[in-house]
């Protein structure tokens, strides 16, 4: 009934400015003013990816909770995973407003926020507090079986970005790894945003290979418990050329065992 009752509120959000409505939704989730899914996921929905157990395959992409304000509330809605970010090393405002636009006839939204972020320090404090709470719950629990990931009932992804004015993209992503990877069930290198000047140039074969190597080395040189370091993903643009895709595939995949 809680989920059904929110349908009555949704039309009111449509009357608000798009970005203000988004902020209001994040704040509601952060303060627990959203329904909570208490029914367990049917086992048939479970899936193991990258050595992580997802109770269901439906997740919330990066871009909604950019600053990790509402992780617990969003996971509590029933998502199998929530990805926060993109997080940049230094705080930045992003593009000028208005920058979120509704396409009512399509039931869709277009955004060009431009990596607006409160920065690594703020996000690390929030995720650290969430991680500590999770550890306390595990310690006090009578069950030996760990449910979910590092932040609660679902899997938590952390999406890393670079600052708009940064001249050393590699250093930005490495800083993100050092500060945030201990709180993540998986990490994402985001080189896909069309709203950050020069970012998509990192998708070139040479540039991406160097970037992934730097980030991977930074992750692997850290100390990890027995569950190991978080898997490393690369988020690429959806409108790459065939050659771009082949170059990226050559970097991020190993050789095939198929010999057709």
Q: What is the mean pLDDT of residues 175-184?
A: 95
Q: What is the mean pLDDT of the chain?
A: 87
Instruction: Answer for the pair 71, 65: CB distance below 8 angstroms, yes or no.
Output: yes
Phi, psi of 200 (to 5 degrees): -70, -15
Domains, the chain, ranges and CATH?
1-254 (3.20.20.70)
Q: What is the mean pLDDT of residues 114-137?
A: 90
Q: Which of 147, 150, 155, 152 is nearest to 57 (CA)?
A: 155
Q: Which pair of structure tokens corresponds to residue 150?
A: 């590092």
Q: What is the mean pLDDT of residues 226-247?
A: 84
Confidence of residue 18 (pLDDT cuts 50, 70, 90): very high
252 or 214, higher pLDDT? 214
pLDDT above 70: residue 119: yes
pLDDT above 70: residue 255: no
Q: Which of 149, 20, 112, 127 is nearest to 69 (CA)?
A: 127
Q: What is the mean pLDDT of residues 73-94?
A: 94
Of 3-12, 87-96, 141-150, the range with the highest mean pLDDT is 87-96
Confidence of residue 200 (pLDDT cuts 50, 70, 90): low
Question: What's the confidence (pLDDT) of residue 145?
Answer: 47
Catalytic residues: 193
Q: What's 52's DSSP letter?
A: E
């Amino acid at each position: 009934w809680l989920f059904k009752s929110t349908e009555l509120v949704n039309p009111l959000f449509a009357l608000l400015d798009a970005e203000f409505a988004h902020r209001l939704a994040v704040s509601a989730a952060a303060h627990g003013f959203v329904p909570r899914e208490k029914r367990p996921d049917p086992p048939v929905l479970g899936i193991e990816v990258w050595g992580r157990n997802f109770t269901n395959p439906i997740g919330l992409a990066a871009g909604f909770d950019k600053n990790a304000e509402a992780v617990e509330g969003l996971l509590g809605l029933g998502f199998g995973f929530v990805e926060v970010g993109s997080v940049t090393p230094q705080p930045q405002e992003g593009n000028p407003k208005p920058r979120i636009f509704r396409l009512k006839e399509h039931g869709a939204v277009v955004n060009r926020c431009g990596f607006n972020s409160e920065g690594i320090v703020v996000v690390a404090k929030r995720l650290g507090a969430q991680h500590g709470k999770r550890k306390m719950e595990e310690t006090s629990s009578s069950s030996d079986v760990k449910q979910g990931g590092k932040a609660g009932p679902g899997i938590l992804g952390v999406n890393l970005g670079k600052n708009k004015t940064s001249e050393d993209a590699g250093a930005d992503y490495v800083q993100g790894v050092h500060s945030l990877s201990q709180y993540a069930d998986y990490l994402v290198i985001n080189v896909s945003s069309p709203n950050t000047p020069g970012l998509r140039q990192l998708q070139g074969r040479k540039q991406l290979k160097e970037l992934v190597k730097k980030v991977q080395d930074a992750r692997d040189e850290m100390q990890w418990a027995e569950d190991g370091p978080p898997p490393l993903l690369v988020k690429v643009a959806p409108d790459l050329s065939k050659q771009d895709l082949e170059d990226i595939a050559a970097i991020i995949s190993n050789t095939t065992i198929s010999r057709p």
